[in-house]
Amino acid sequence: MTVWATPEEYALRAGVGLTDSSRPQISALLEDAEAVIRAHLPPAYEPPAPVARAILIKVARRSKINPGGRTSKTVGSTAESYDDRGGLFVTEDEVRALTAGLTRPSTAYTVGVADPGMRQVGGAPWPGPR
């Protein structure tokens, strides 16, 4: 798996300091966030690097700020509310941005396969076209 963002890129874009003690946690968080994002993408698809980096950092930061997905927290007389549900998740808009370059077929179709030159299928004579 490629890593779409480094801990240094995360720190720069999230506006946080990067220390020797925080680097392993941020690396792990980026790996986890990328795995969650990739679960929403087609196999072997690589989104555009700048888009992947931006969304990866957004998903990771959302999880770091609010890992438990709280909506609010009160400690004594101080209350804090969160406008985001937190945790590791990817929104539909984020998936759309990541897959914007993919072309999708607009309709389903069936392809019939036949080889008239082949006279036997599985040991039995081929009945030929009807």
Looking at residue 124, what is its pLDDT? Answer: 61
> What's the whole-model pTM score?
0.65
| Positions of the chain with pLDDT lower than 70, given as ranges | 1-2, 66-72, 81-86, 104-109, 111-130
Q: How crowded is residue 82: how many other Cβ atoms within 10 Å of its Cβ?
A: 15
Tokens of residue 81, six digits: 């509310």
Contact (CB, 8 A) for 106 and 52: no
Tokens of residue 27, six digits: 């690396």
Segment 13-49, tens digit of pLDDT: 988 888 998 899 999 999 999 999 999 999 889 999 9
